[in-house]
Amino acid sequence: MSPIPVLESCIPLPIEERTLVEVTQKAKDWAIMHGAAMRSKANFSPDSLNFAPFILVPSSFPRKEFEKAKHLQTIINQLMHNVAHDEEFLTTTLAETIKVDDFTANLFNVYKKVLANGFGQALSLGLLRSDYLAHMFEDNSIKQVEINTIASSFGGISTQMMPLQSFVMRELGHVDKLKNMPENTALSGICGGMIKAWELYEKPKAVILFVIEDVSYNICDQRFHEFYIREQSPHIHVLRRTLTEIHKEGKLGPNKELFLGEYEVAVIYFRAGYEPAHYPSQDEWDARYMMECSRAIKCPSIHYHLAGTKKVQQALAQPEMLERFISDPEKIKAVGQIFTGLYSLDDSEAGNASYEMALKEPERFVLKPQREGGGNNVYGVDIPDALRKMNRLERAAWILMDLIQPPISKGYMIRPGGKSPPEIVDLVSELGIFGVIIGDVDNIIWNYQAGHMLRTKLSTANEGGVAAGLGALDSPYLLD
Ligand code: ADP
Ligand code: MG
């Protein structure tokens, strides 16, 4: 096997020990003081923050691929918008999955009920994040890992990462390198989408509702959004409520307005509702249904949520499928190139063939259920055991995906309670591009690319979720 390529680092490493210890401590304080922080899971207190895990100096990423990902985002926004509005496609694609996956079935059930009752609001707000790994076996060209249509997070904190790492680079005497660190406007881009949706609702007193978990560990990221909206548009109030609270307090008005106490809700921004634990009882499902029926503009609405499932991603990657949603052949080609192999595990001829393929060469694949939030996938050699535990029908809840193999970079991962001085480690980075789209089935009113995030994990780790505690926030150093 050829050795795994290592991307050139932005500055010569290692950093001399005394300088390293000093700059690391400054960077940690910078992070806390600028809200690049989270609540501790181990020592939870609503009154204190830890800095969010971060990479000390920016990790290298190929410039060409970064630009490509940004350029593609408006096409991906439009694609997802069209998918979300294709009832027939969603229904057939998810038909086998919902027979065995209760959570997706519950979401689908909400969708069907809303379809039967009529949508209270034709407009949807999509705040998407398309995630990529560079694939080293194809000249580091990017491959899409997944697309998030609900609770696409870290736009707030990621906006602080380039300033944090620029501070470190200046401290280390590398001002000349700052030009390769792209600015990030994720926070203003995403919040701009919420404000635009609020304006389209045309009720000056209506509020934006953040649907939150019972405990928000990623509080800073959420507050960045809230505080940005409050600062830019002080006339727009932001409420935070759990699904359980919405069930207790929420009511629909005569014209399907969603009321929480005295407040009418213009925009609903879901930062919860994407995993089964967020719905401890039927009450939370009832709350979701009520919101979906309402006139409020949802981010996402239920059909956008379903369009973001892994099963839909798998279906979209099948030959000729993009033609259903995109008319321009150039765009079809460009989007097709970022897909990697995705295979159905339904009980069909093709599904059974992918099952056999996974048993034979498991190290080539990742096995994914219809879940979000990290830590749910099965990798490589663990796949055969996992698959053998399922019957033919149960497999339909999963999809199989080619393993993307990103190039390695070297750097320092700084974590609360980590070693001092930190050690140089092998890292791989996942790029996320945010997109905003607002429209209804016939018209798109806004469609733009809205900044990026980079998160980086140890090259030996399968997953790098920051909220899940494995990855670290980062920003790209663009290599020509
Ligand atoms: P989730 O909805 O849980 O975020 P993802 O599809 O993003 O699910 O998978 C979680 C993580 O697993 C990704 O962030 C990435 O690190 C890793 N991963 C997922 N798919 C692949 C793949 N095809 N090749 C390599 N790593 C992958
Ligand atoms: Mg993910």
**Segment 34-70, tens digit of pLDDT:** 999 999 999 999 999 999 999 999 999 999 999 999 9
Q: Whose CA is nearest to atom 23 of ligand 1?
A: 403
- Give CA–CA dist 229/222, Å, rounded: 11
Which residues fall inside 5 Å of ion ligand 2, going by CB? 146
Judge: domain 341-403, CATH 3.30.1490.50: yes
Distance 130 CA to ligand 2 centre (A): 9
Q: What is the pLDDT of residue 333?
A: 97
Residue type, 179: K
The H helix count followed by the E strand count for the chain is: 16, 21
Q: What is the pLDDT of residue 1?
A: 45
- Give CA–CA dist 292/265, Å, rounded: 12
State whether the beta carbon of 341 lies less than 6 angstroms from ligand 1.
no
| Residue length of the chain | 480
Distance 263 CA to ligand 2 centre (A): 34
Distance 149 CA to ligand 2 centre (A): 11
DSSP string of 297-352, one letter each residue: EEET-HHHHHHTSHHHHHHHTSTTGGGGT---HHHHHHHHHH---EEE-SSSHHHH
Q: Whose CA is nearest to atom 16 of ligand 1?
A: 463
Q: What is the pLDDT of residue 3?
A: 59
pTM of the model as a whole: 0.97
State whether the beta carbon of 131 lies less than 6 angstroms from ligand 1.
yes
How far, rounded to the nearest angstrom, does the alpha carbon of residue 112 sit from its chain's CA centroid?
25
Judged by its nearest atom, the ligand closest to the C-alpha of residue 150 is: 1
State whether the beta carbon of 275 lies less than 6 angstroms from ligand 1.
no
Q: What is the pLDDT of residue 467?
A: 74
Q: What is the pLDDT of residue 138?
A: 86
Q: Which atom of ligand 1 is nearest to the CA of 310?
A: 6
Residue showing tokens 């999955």: 97
Distance 129 CA to ligand 2 centre (A): 9
How do the domains of the chain map onto residue ranges? 17-340+404-479, 341-403
State whether the beta carbon of 405 lies less than 6 angstroms from ligand 1.
no
CB 397 within 8 A of CB 344: no
Pocket test for ligand 1, best of 145, 378, 430 (most atoms within 8 A of CB): 145
Low-confidence ranges of the chain (pLDDT < 70): 1-4, 469
pLDDT digits (tens, 9 = 90+) for 162-202: 999 999 999 999 999 999 999 999 999 999 999 999 999 99
Please list, residue by residue across 117-151, b when 16 or more beta carbons sit within 10 angstroms of its beta carbon and e when fewer do: eebbbebbbbbbbbbbbbbbeeebbbbbbbbbbbb
How far, rounded to the nearest angstrom, does the alpha carbon of residue 265 sit from its chain's CA centroid?
25
Q: What is the pLDDT of residue 17?
A: 98
Which candidate, 432, 369, 388, places its Cα nearest to that of 152? 432
HSE of 19, CA atoms in CB hemisphere, 13 A: 11
Distance 372 CA to ligand 1 centre (A): 10
State whether the beta carbon of 401 lies less than 6 angstroms from ligand 1.
yes
Judged by its nearest atom, the ligand closest to the C-alpha of residue 464 is: 1
Q: What is the pLDDT of residue 466?
A: 81
Q: What is the pLDDT of residue 465?
A: 77
Distance 234 CA to ligand 2 centre (A): 33
State whether the beta carbon of 376 lies less than 6 angstroms from ligand 1.
yes
Give catalytic residues, as residue numbers: 129, 146, 148, 153, 310, 368, 372-373, 455
